[in-house]
Structures are given as C-alpha cells and as structure tokens.
Amino acid sequence: CTLDSEVALRVGGDFFFDPQPGDSPVKLVLIAGGVGINPLFSILLHIADLHGYQEGKGNGYKMGTVTLYYSAKKTSELLFKKNILGLVNTFPGKITCRFHVTQQTSQICEELQPHVTGK
C-alpha cells in the first residue's frame, strides 16, 4: 500500500477469497498470529493454485501478489512454515512472507533467517 491507498480489512469471523475469472487482480496482505494461520494458509494454498493455473493455461483469474505476515513466540510455533516457504520459492515475487517471533532465545535456522524478524 501507499499513502492514501484504499484498503479493505477483515478481522476474524467468516471470510474467504474466491475471485472469479472476470474480477480485477488484487494485491493481498494476509496477517496471522499463532494458530490464526489456519484459514489464511488455506487462502494461500488457493492463491498458489490460481498462480499455477494461470501459468499453465494463461486464462482465468489473474492473481496479484500476496504477502503473508505471520507472528508467533518462537519459530518452532510457526505452523506450516516449510509449506509456506515452499510456496514462496515456487512463486518468487508473487508470494512473499515475513515471519515475526517475539520470544525467540535460540539461534534461528539458516533456512528461516531471511524471512524472520525478532522483537
């Protein structure tokens, strides 16, 4: 987003992402904490499917970029982290993530270091 951008925000409750082929592309920012990643991970998988379909067929919904911000106390509590990094690597520039840990005292593994910020 940039200054004066219009954004829609949805916190909790019943939500989904189901764009149709004629819809305009959107840029998504997904923000999760702890186990709140569950519904957003499903959305992220759907986005990956849309990107894969777009690359394979060249038609259908044109997905914009997505950035996932995901926070937990420690990297060991980041659910689906390997799957998320797999999507980031499969769709570079289209899917990005930033993990944030608030109480990490041990060394962060090399694979996660580029994607993790601490307190």
- Enumerate the β-bridge partners of residue 68: 30, 97
Does 10 fall in a domain? no
The answer to whether residue 65 scores a pLDDT higher than 70 is yes
Does 23 fall in a domain? no
CA 39 to chain centre: 11
For residue 37, the domain's CATH number is 3.40.50.80
The answer to whether residue 56 scores a pLDDT higher than 80 is no
Does 99 fall in a domain? yes
Domain containing 44: what range?
28-117
* Total tally of structural domains belonging to the chain: 1
Does 18 fall in a domain? no
Does 62 fall in a domain? yes
At 5-55, the pLDDT tens digits run 887 777 776 778 888 888 888 899 999 999 989 999 999 999 998 888 766
Does 108 fall in a domain? yes
**Both tokens assigned to 30:** 């997904």
| CA-to-CA dists, residue 28 to 43, 65, 69, 78, 114, angstroms | 10, 6, 11, 20, 21
Does 16 fall in a domain? no
Task: Please enumerate in sequence order all residues whose Cβ is within 8 A of that of 18, keeping only pairs 6 or more positions apart, or say none.
Answer: 46
pLDDT tier at 111, thresholds 50, 70, 90: very high
Does 33 fall in a domain? yes
